[in-house]
Amino acid sequence: MTTLFKIMSYLPLWLLHAKGWVLGWLAFGLSGVYRRRFLANARLAGLPWRSIRAAVGESGKLVLELPRLWLGSPVPVLWAGAQHVEAALAQGRGIVFLTPHLGCFEITAQAYAQRFAAAGKPMTVLFRPPRQTWLRAVVQASRQRPGLLTAPTTLSGVKQMIKALKRGESVGLLPDQVPPRGMGVWVPFFGAPAYTMTLSVRLLQQTGACVLLAWGERLPWGQGFRVHVQPLPETLPTGLEEAASAINQAMEGLVRQCPQQYLWGYARYKQPRELL
């Protein structure tokens, strides 16, 4: 499989996206569980089929673009809102980037590292190794690159991120990812209770870092990506549950900007796993 990944990394992005589109529709058609969850999640958001239909193919693109992003040559990246990053770095504050399962979330950290890490401000992202041994080595190697560091999903990883923020560096999180039991709270996401991580709130409260919302738009015909960055719409409440709820609302706002690229098949409302 590692050899296959390496071969795929040489393919042009447009070809990987074309094959990914087919893969996405195959998964949607063949897996009843996935299809029902995809449609149920979109229904909770109150979105009609015409608004989320393209997300079927986009989900497949997300999978097949990974070999190129992990092992291949750099892809074209545009920016919308880079001034928000520049302003936060100029203040010497750490930055917590919050990115939902929207578009290509792999590209946001890579693009930051390429553009901003040269100033001595790397980004640290949480890393939970895949269960497959062969994939674990590939993913770990892809995320250990200049300006991009990884932290394990453990207490030591949290301490690593706190230290990075206090040095004025950046960290990246997916706040709509279901955390282990005991590391989140049940708050609404598109109106339904969803177990939501509190790590982002705790990092902000302990370090006084700046928070920015970011997501990577997948451009058509393999033209690359556009990284969107914007500030949090409102100041976070001090209460843990209230702050987590506010972050969920901010993530909802991003998803509504481009529902065609949200990962609607993600099991957002599942029960959390036990902390190992």
Q: How many CB atoms lie within 10 A of CB 148?
A: 19
- Round to whole Å and give the CA distance between 126 and 172: 7
- pLDDT exceeding 70 applies to what percent of the chain? 93
Report yes or no on 65 lying in a domain: no
Q: Using pLDDT thresholds of 50, 70 and 90, give the confidence band for residue 6.
A: confident
Query: Considering its fold, how many domains does the chain have in total?
Result: 1
Quick one: average pLDDT of 14-19?
97
Quick one: average pLDDT of 152-181?
90
Task: Give one DSSP letter per residue of the chain, joined into a string.
Answer: -HHHHHHHTTS-HHHHHHHHHHHHHHHHHH-HHHHHHHHHHHHHTT--HHHHTHHHHHHHHHHHTHHHHHHS----EEEESHHHHHHHHHTT--EEEE--SBB-HHHHHHHHHHHHGGGT--EEEEE---SSHHHHHHHHHHH-BTTEEEEESSHHHHHHHHHHHHTT-EEEE-TTSPPPTTSEEEEEETTEEEEEE-HHHHHHHHH--EEEEEEEEE-GGG--EEEEEEE-SSPPPSSHHHHHHHHHHHHHHHHHH-GGGB-TTS-TTSPPPPP-
Quick one: average pLDDT of 199-213?
93
Q: How many CB atoms lie within 10 A of CB 84?
A: 17
Of 238 and 14, more confident: 14
Q: 206, 162 in Cβ contact below 8 A?
A: yes
Does 206 have pLDDT greater than 80? yes
- Give the tens place of pLDDT for each residue, 64-105: 999 999 888 999 999 999 999 999 999 888 999 999 999 999
Report yes or no on 100 lying in a domain: yes
Report yes or no on 229 lying in a domain: yes
Q: Whole-model pTM?
A: 0.93
Quick one: average pLDDT of 249-269?
97
Report yes or no on 129 lying in a domain: yes
Report yes or no on 67 lying in a domain: no
- Give the tens place of pLDDT for each residue, 111-159: 999 999 877 789 998 877 666 665 666 666 666 678 888 888 788 888 9
**CATH number of residue 95's parent domain:** 3.40.1130.10
- Average pLDDT over the chain, rounded to an integer: 91
Q: 35, 29 in Cβ contact below 8 A?
A: yes
Of 146 and 14, more confident: 14
Query: Residue 223 half-sphere exposure, CB side, CA atoms within 13 Å?
Result: 7
Quick one: average pLDDT of 198-209?
93
Q: What is the pLDDT of residue 234?
A: 82
Report yes or no on 12 lying in a domain: no
Quick one: average pLDDT of 104-111?
93
Q: What is the pLDDT of residue 273?
A: 85
Q: What is the pLDDT of residue 121?
A: 84
Q: What is the pLDDT of residue 230?
A: 96
Q: Which domain holds residue 171?
A: 76-261
User: Would you state the structure tokens that stand for residue 32, as one six-digit string?
Assistant: 């009843």
Quick one: average pLDDT of 44-68?
96
Q: What is the pLDDT of residue 156?
A: 87
Quick one: average pLDDT of 197-207?
93
